[in-house]
Amino acid sequence: MIALRAGCVRLSGRAVLHDIDFRAQAGEVVALCGPNGAGKSTLLRALAGLLPGGVPPDPRHLGFLPQGARCAWGMTVAEVVALGRIPHGDADPAPVARAIAACGLDGLRAARVDRISGGQARRAMLARVLATEPEVMLLDEPTADLDPAAAHEIMALLRELARQGRCVLVVLHALDLATRYADRIVVMADGRIVADAPPADALPRAAAVFGLPWGSDPAPRLLPPAP
């Protein structure tokens, strides 16, 4: 559904992505993990056609949640989520209501987005993307700011959207969430993909990239039970 072949990116004269081969299919949740500065957001922006020289795909088909997306205007949650219908040129209330409900925002429809909590605001920005109902979703840290229960709810929602046939690419720092909900973990380091495999195979590589111990380390026991 979305692919990049031999992708190289230079920003401000500096090579940021090297020789990236990536593809994702309908029905998949793919987690993009790696250290700060590894190139995850740049890869998402490249796929979204947002880098210089890029061609953004039709926004009805591709939804993009930028890292740290916020809305500082005094709009209500419902109004912000309804912005997700702009690519379709309609104000269809049904997908907006579905997105609000799916993100657990029913009780906050009339609240101003600049007067809700950071986690609630993050869910509102995600709901805006969901309201478009795009086939492909590129989500940069949608669970940042969320408490653990909310993060699991959002990941379960993304899993369900993939089951319905969407393609979800999600940048995550939480390896436990990636392990539990992703079909594949793509591990990036220094602008390259260093692993692209199911979680069980990708995790040792991710641990190595982060310089974390693996095997005897207790971290795997902290993972939630498999679904």
Ligand X SMILES: Nc1ncnc2c1ncn2[C@@H]1O[C@H](COP(=O)(O)OP(=O)(O)OP(=O)(O)O)[C@@H](O)[C@H]1O
Among the listed residues 3, 8, 15, 37, the single contact to ligand X using CB under 6 A = 37
In the bound state with ligand X, the residue whose beta carbon lies nearer, of 14 and 221, is 14
Instruction: Quote the least distance from Cβ 12 to ligand X, whole Å.
Output: 4
Neighbours of 2 (CB within 10 A): 20
CA–CA dist 227, 156 (Å, integer): 10
CA–CA dist 70, 78 (Å, integer): 15
In the bound state with ligand X, the residue whose beta carbon lies nearer, of 52 and 215, is 52
In the bound state with ligand X, the residue whose beta carbon lies nearer, of 53 and 218, is 53
Verify binding: residue 34, ligand X, rule CB under 6 A.
yes
Task: Judge contact between 35 and 174, C-beta under 8 A.
Answer: no
Verify binding: residue 132, ligand X, rule CB under 6 A.
no
User: Quick one: how far is CA 189 from the chain centroid?
Assistant: 18
Q: Which helix (H) or strand (E) holds 78?
A: helix 77-82
Task: Judge contact between 7 and 19, C-beta under 8 A.
Answer: yes
Q: Among residues 203, 199, 188, which one has the least CA distance to residue 41?
A: 188
Contacting range for ligand X; rule: CB under 6 A; set: 34-42, 108-116, 147-155, 177-185: 34-42
Instruction: Quote the least distance from Cβ 143 to ligand X, whole Å.
Output: 13
Verify binding: residue 129, ligand X, rule CB under 6 A.
no
Q: Provide the 8-state DSSP code for 58.
A: P
Contacts of ligand X in 40-79 (CB under 6 A): 40-42, 67
Buried b (16+ CB within 10 A) or exposed e, 170-179: bbbbbbbbbb
Among the listed residues 12, 90, 200, 218, the single contact to ligand X using CB under 6 A = 12
In the bound state with ligand X, the residue whose beta carbon lies nearer, of 5 and 14, is 14
Contacts of ligand X in 74-113 (CB under 6 A): none
Verify binding: residue 143, ligand X, rule CB under 6 A.
no
Contacts of ligand X in 172-211 (CB under 6 A): none
Q: Which helix (H) or strand (E) holds 64?
A: strand 62-65
Interface residues with ligand X (CB under 6 A) are 11-12, 14, 16, 34, 36-42, 67
